[in-house]
Structure 1
Amino acid sequence: MDDDLLDDPALGEEESEQDGLYEHFSVVADKGQTMLRLDKFLVARMEHCSRNRIQAAADSGNILVNDMPAKASYKVKPLDRIRIVLPYPRRDNEIHPEEIPLEIPYEDDDLLLVDKEAGMVVHPGVGNHSGTLVNALAWHLRGTEIADSGGMRAGLVHRIDKNTSGLLVVAKNEQTHARLAKQFFDHTIYRRYVALVWGDFAEDEGTITGNIGRSPRERQKMYVFEDGSDGKHAVTHWRVLKRYGYVTLVECRLETGRTHQIRVHMAWQGHPLFNDERYGGDRILKGTTFAKYKQFIENCFALMPRHALHAQSLGFDHPTTRREMRFESELPADFRALLTKWDNYAATAEKEN
């Protein structure tokens, strides 16, 4: 998976829309390997990984032996090829709980939903050692299995960028964590985002398919490899919600979850997100040359000083009850205010014409 991208300091505080499942370990058993339980075999070979965590991964089908899911009790044989994928990367640094208010629209014994505000970094990293969502979750979940086990990143299954607002699901125990991660890995999680992008579209809906990887020229940016020679397979489905002429409100549904996927896919198609500094959306790309319009855009940037992206919908099967769950998040105040300005601008332009 994209563990190498997520942990790269070059990406700074920007987190990904990543599936949240990472292959941590791959090994081929020696020719002289004696019969040994799979969980014991892996505990002896993996750092910072408990037997309980490995058993939860096995129960969720996240451990493959010779490309087939295997139980923790499986007896490892000579030349077995073993791969394990887990719902969070290894971490050596300790997470310090911090009492930070969170918007939690739903919570039960197994999981909770967080409606993250823009500007909050998801987890500690270079330049962001405190004040993150993970620090807040560690406080909120103190006393639970997932928080007390240490180095578990407080149940985080997936992430969204610092300046993206919206919904994240968080696990409260190992079993839930592994089962949710499996749904992300299988692309059965429903994720719908709302974005304001530059330009208009000829069609009402479409699909963007293009491998995404680190830019060969700028390490802090992601890049679409058109020929498929590099990067990871990425698919974004989009649909027009409202046309303003110079900008368009769209919904984006993720089929995969690569770093900065919506932002880089839209920029690649000539539609950078409005005020997305990293991918060129923080300047006037469409519109008139009138000073009045320039001032209008500058006012819009000041009103919403971040890229216009919100994780609005999140759906999954509950890991314990198996019941289908769907959650919605209202657009935050800055996004609503931005759209109101564009509504007024479009209405004024229509009257003048």
Structure 2
Amino acid sequence: MPKTSQELSAPNSFLTLEHTGAQVRLDHFLHQQFPEISIQKWKQAIGTFMVLIDGRPGRKGSIISNSARVSLPAWLPASLAPGPPRADPSIKPVIIFEDDELLVIDKPAGIHTHPLNGNEIGTLANGLIAHFPTLNGVGFSPLQPGLLNRLDRDTSGLVLVAKIKKSWEKYRQLFAEKQLTKIYLGIVHGIVAAPLTIDAPL
């Protein structure tokens, strides 16, 4: 019978995960199971000996094999997971398009798309949470509310933001199937003598 949320939050409740496949480092395995939690945070948690491998405390650098059983306190993932970005009303997203499912935002150069931790401000995601608080919980990570794509700090352009979880899943699938494509325009210095194509990884 599945455990209730109250049972999972009990101090003595454990969550057990079984690994199937090739050998993998314990911290990487846990990051695969809980991608919103960084490998560094899992390393710190493993260092407290709260994560068990087949009943024995795991250690930093531990390798787990096929059929290994990894146990950890059921409350641990929630305590390690980052919260949503801090709301920053000073970042005002420029909306190019909006409907019930999607926002298209014009991100300026000079700001990051999202923060790396819950205390950082000044990113597009901080502005999104301030002006669209219902984005909290939508998307891959709490620090990336609704974001379907990202742009580097010095790159300006369009960022797609799903307003609800169902839309986020739909558009991520379209990206995965290459039904949505990205086009980048670059500013170059000098004169191009003839048309040319540069086909190289960015």
Q: TM-score normalised by the shorter chain: which range applies?
A: 0.5 to 0.7
How many Å separate the matches in 2 of 1:29 and 1:198? 51
Q: 1:150 to 1:204 in 2, by over 3 A?
A: closer
Q: 1:158 aligns with which of 149, 154, 169?
A: 149
Instruction: Answer whether contact 1:124 1:134 (CA < 8 A) is retained.
Output: yes
Amino acid at match of 2:108: E
How many Å separate the matches in 1 of 2:110 and 2:93? 13
Alignment match, 2:20 = 28
CA drift at 1:47: 2.7
Q: 1:85-114: CA deviations, max 9, x gaps?
A: xxxxxx933221221211001111111000
Alignment match, 1:219 = none
Q: 1:313-350: CA deviations, max 9, x gaps?
A: xxxxxxxxxxxxxxxxxxxxxxxxxxxxxxxxxxxxxx
TM-score by length of 1: 0.32
CA drift at 1:124: 0.9
Alignment match, 2:109 = 118
1:97 aligns with 2:84: no
CA drift at 1:193: 2.6
How many Å separate the matches in 2 of 1:122 and 1:146? 17
Instruction: Answer whether contact 1:146 1:172 (CA < 8 A) is retained.
Output: no
Q: What SS does structure 2 have at the residue aligned with 1:161?
A: coil
Which stretches of structure 1, 4 residues or more, deviate above 6 A after TM superposition? none
1:178 aligns with 2:169: yes
Alignment match, 2:128 = 137
Alignment match, 2:41 = none
How many Å separate the matches in 2 of 1:198 and 1:142? 42
Q: What SS does structure 2 have at the residue aligned with 1:123?
A: coil
Amino acid at match of 2:152: D
How many Å separate the matches in 1 of 2:183 and 2:138? 28
Amino acid at match of 2:20: V
Root-mean-square deviation (CA, aligned residues, Å) is 3.5
CA drift at 1:168: 0.8
Alignment of 1:60-99 (within 5 A): 92-94=81-83, 95-99=85-89
Instruction: Answer whether contact 1:141 1:147 (CA < 8 A) is retained.
Output: no
Q: 1:148 to 1:190 in 2, by over 3 A?
A: closer
Structure 1 unaligned spans of 5+: 1-26, 31-44, 50-78, 80-90, 210-233, 235-260, 262-353
Q: Which has the larger radius of gyration?
A: 1
Instruction: Answer whether contact 1:145 1:173 (CA < 8 A) is retained.
Output: no
Structure 2 unaligned spans of 5+: 1-18, 23-31, 37-66, 68-79
Q: 1:252-272: CA deviations, max 9, x gaps?
A: xxxxxxxxx1xxxxxxxxxxx
- Higher fraction of strand: 1
Q: 1:186 to 1:202 in 2, by over 3 A?
A: farther
CA drift at 1:123: 1.0
How many Å separate the matches in 2 of 1:149 and 1:162? 20
